[in-house]
Structure 1
Amino acid sequence: MTKACGVDFGTSNSTVGWLGQSAGGGGAAHSLLALEDGKATLPSVVFFNADDDEVRYGRAALADYLAGYEGRLMRSLKSLLGTSLMDGQTEVAGRSLPFRLLLAQFIGELKRRAESQAGRRFEHAVFGRPVFFIDDNPQADRLAEDTLAEVARSVGFREVAFQYEPIAAAFDYESTIAREELVLIVDIGGGTSDFSLVRLGPERAGKPERRDDILATGGVHIGGTDFDKYLSLAAAMPLLGYRGLLRSGAEIPSSYYFNLATWHTINQAYTRKSIAQLEDLVRDASEPGPLRRLQGLIDERAGHWLAMQVEGAKIGLSSEETVVLDLDRLRPPEKLVVTRPRFEEAIGPLPDSIDATVLRLLADAGVTASAVDTVFFTGGSSGVGLLRARVGALVPDARKVEGDLFGSIGAGLALDARRKFG
């Protein structure tokens, strides 16, 4: 059994992979460890339950929040890496909590649950990382990786290595094929879209060094949380006064709506300063009704609830043409109809950036589209039909394969952990 694990700390969901003993005892079988309720994924969510004075994680955290317990919900923690917010803090139960400590609490919980399932301690780990934590800023990108490594070591990982997430997904796909292929790995996750062009095959799989098999990598800081944000701004935030006017003719400041539409800034709408300023805006609004609805949402600390409804619409539109959201916590309640064309219009130019990244990847590799044998999709947001169709159209002759949207990276990291640490 390998002594190391692979950790996919995701913007929306996290997994841990490990090459444990196979069921028959005759060798190693890579698998994802069950982290919550028998499921391999642990939503990257922390809830500080003030009523019960305890910290909850994953689905349990979301359940407490939706049940109406008093407390503080934090999500999309990975999005803080490489930003100035990472050195800041937030208020929890009247106390200041540094974001670094919050990140360490979640990574430590991942480690604890993985070790409990594996029945052993993990002191070595390969962490997945996006091709770019931060676009066009190498210094911030390096800072993000260094911060994650420091946090991982602080919770007991003695040795930490990193692997690009799409390369990890490539290793997972490679374990399933019988001949050599040139594969475009498309990993569209919660916070980033990452791509790799890799030569894969059974004869290559055992090589300790795979650098020559990686023709090119690329990425852009666009992912599922961005799709949530733009859908929220287009469909939900107008119900709360977004783009409404003050009596002076000026537009209502958009900061409230952008904070509520962005997972890792929702709590900024709940500060005393923000609430006091909103009170003044209600008095000055030409139509105060939507702003009063916004006040009610903030008073109930229901920003994450609204974001979850919008995220649910996005997910539903991957398979349905129309989704109806029952926004029963708004006052007055509202039934919001969201269509796939409206969603695709809302995310606007984001698919163009993804297209451009893939075309640049092919150019960097010196490879024509016709040379690509397979497109391998992974990452939860690769289920968005528009994105899949757009990427597929760039390499029309390639076979399209869907991996485990939430598990391929963790499984591939487990394979890489065995290579790196034995």
Structure 2
Amino acid sequence: MAHLSCGIDFGTSNSSIAIAEGDTVSLVPVEDVQVTKPSAIFFQKKDNAASFGRAAVKMFFDRHEGRFMRSLKRVLGTSLMKQGTLVNGKLMKFDRIIALFLKELRNKAHQHTSREIDNVVMGRPVHFVDHDPEADRRAEDELRTIAEMVGFKHVAFQFEPIAAAFAHEVNIKGEKLAIVADLGGGTSDFTVIRLSDQYLGRADRSSDILANTGVRVGGNDLDKDLSLEVILPEFGYRSTYGDKKLEVPLKLYHDLAEWSKVNFLYTPKIVSQTRQLLIQSHDKIKFRRLLQVLETETGHSLLAAAEDTKIALTAQERYDASFGFVEDGLLIPVTRGQFEDAVQHEVEKISNAAAQCLKQAMISNDDIELVILTGGTTEVPLVQQTFRQIFPKAALADENKLSSVGLGLAYDSRKKFA
């Protein structure tokens, strides 16, 4: 019987699983014919039954009663893992929540192959947590434990940008010096690596990997900056209240602009405090919109509108973002220029991480022959423009942006567990 193993790309925004069965490596359809699945869970209020991916997103936006969760990967390595969160009134630990999602992916693979899969290579960012090696180790240990919880007997890890390189290597003739830019929802990771169709069978590729760097900046951070700079001012962000003209609490808005934190705002205490601030607000029309979001628990709809705006601005210069769920007819016009101004400092952090990778590899920009772009954030025009400026002499490969990491992890699993 052919060797069987798999790779799982558990992403901040989207996830995939690919299997290696003998000489064949392929992505598993995880949602109808789709090979990627939004990293989202919806727990129905009546029985806490869990739905996943697009089904979870649809249930939330169709206004079913329950708890919606996204960006679970960003919780790994943080104190929230031990604290847990309330799900429909009951405390649930995040290891259990993440395990439910990974179990869903494993079940899809089992259905696809009709065989149990014991061996997995899990993708991981270069840094789960920036500038905190202990938290980074803890995050990997937590993910390993969760993978074992869902039934995997042997768990290995590979950096996501290296996995993306493996997925592209099958199409390379001769040797090329490449940099992989894996820009996902939560992190941006880079690898400088020598690639060749002649190296595909090598079990040990350590000598081909010249450097790895990463930074905890991704598409979710671009969404947050867009929200804070352009959208949330229409909800009272940086407005004032009271006789002393104090600025309204900014933490409330910062949490409202993050998928992993928005659920923590729907408490009686926060809603009551916001009502009190509304009485003293100097811009009641805009601040009342914030209260409306908190009272109706539609913060995720606000985040989705910001994400939709970012996506729309990849193809057009202006977009009218709709917030009719807050106020009939409420449109906020956003231009690509406004978006790029809002995210410029995040893009600089990304480009600095790429420069650091070159420095570690002790090579120059002109030495790079191939730039491999993977992850949804590489769709952003400013990001593409930045990488073309940094590497003007290099060819650019950006096919299979959302699935190359999963494929590469499966290729790596074939080597690790053969």
Tell me the TM-score normalized by structure 1: 0.96
Partner of 2:250: 254
Q: Distance in 2 between matches of 1:112 and 1:275?
A: 40
1:12 and 1:76 in contact (8 A); partners too: yes
Q: Which residue, out of 76, 84, 88, partners 1:81? A: 76
**TM-aligned CA deviation for residue 332 of structure 1:** 4.4
The reply on whether 1:176 has 2:171 as its aligned counterpart is yes
Name the amino acid aligned to 1:10: G
Partner of 2:143: 148
The reply on whether 1:18 has 2:22 as its aligned counterpart is no
Q: Which residue, out of 381, 406, 413, partners 1:410? A: 406
Q: Distance in 2 between matches of 1:110 and 1:282?
A: 45
Q: Distance in 1 between matches of 2:250 and 2:187?
A: 24
Q: Which residue, out of 237, 243, 252, partners 1:242? A: 237
**Helix, strand or coil: the match of 2:344?**
coil
Q: Which residue, out of 218, 233, 239, partners 2:228? A: 233
1:5 and 1:413 in contact (8 A); partners too: yes
Pairing 1:100-115 to 2, within 5 Å after superposition: 100-115=95-110
**Helix, strand or coil: the match of 1:348?**
helix
**TM-aligned CA deviation for residue 353 of structure 1:** 1.1
Pairing 1:14-413 to 2, within 5 Å after superposition: 14-20=15-21, 28-51=23-46, 53-247=48-242, 248-413=244-409
Instruction: Pick which of 381-390 and 188-197 moved more.
Output: 381-390
**TM-aligned CA deviation for residue 188 of structure 1:** 0.4
Instruction: Pick which of 260-269 and 284-293 moved more.
Output: 284-293
1:6 and 1:128 in contact (8 A); partners too: yes
* Structure 1 residue runs without a partner (length 5+): 21-26
1:375 and 1:392 in contact (8 A); partners too: no
Q: Distance in 1 between matches of 2:327 and 2:381?
A: 33
Name the amino acid aligned to 2:7: G
**Helix, strand or coil: the match of 2:246?**
coil
Q: Distance in 2 between matches of 1:107 and 1:88?
A: 20
* Structure 2 residue runs without a partner (length 5+): none
1:293 and 1:332 in contact (8 A); partners too: no
**TM-aligned CA deviation for residue 400 of structure 1:** 1.1
Deviations 1:298-317 (A, max 9, x none): 22211111111110111111
**Helix, strand or coil: the match of 1:120?**
coil
**Helix, strand or coil: the match of 1:263?**
coil
Name the amino acid aligned to 1:187: D
Q: Distance in 1 between matches of 2:113 and 2:310?
A: 35
**TM-aligned CA deviation for residue 348 of structure 1:** 3.0
**TM-aligned CA deviation for residue 337 of structure 1:** 1.2
Name the amino acid aligned to 2:11: G
Q: Distance in 1 between matches of 2:416 and 2:115?
A: 19
**TM-aligned CA deviation for residue 52 of structure 1:** 6.6
Q: Distance in 1 between matches of 2:161 and 2:351?
A: 16
Name the amino acid aligned to 2:70: R
**Helix, strand or coil: the match of 1:7?**
strand
Q: Distance in 2 between matches of 1:282 and 1:348?
A: 33
Q: Distance in 1 between matches of 2:328 and 2:312?
A: 24
**TM-aligned CA deviation for residue 174 of structure 1:** 0.3
Q: Distance in 2 between matches of 1:249 and 1:332?
A: 30
Q: Distance in 2 between matches of 1:145 and 1:352?
A: 27
Instruction: Pick which of 103-112 and 65-74 moved more.
Output: 103-112
**TM-aligned CA deviation for residue 80 of structure 1:** 0.3
**Helix, strand or coil: the match of 2:108?**
helix
Structure 1 runs, 4 residues or longer, greater than 3 Å off: none
1:33 and 1:118 in contact (8 A); partners too: no
Q: Distance in 2 between matches of 1:309 and 1:2?
A: 44
Q: Distance in 2 between matches of 1:362 and 1:352?
A: 15
Name the amino acid aligned to 2:393: D
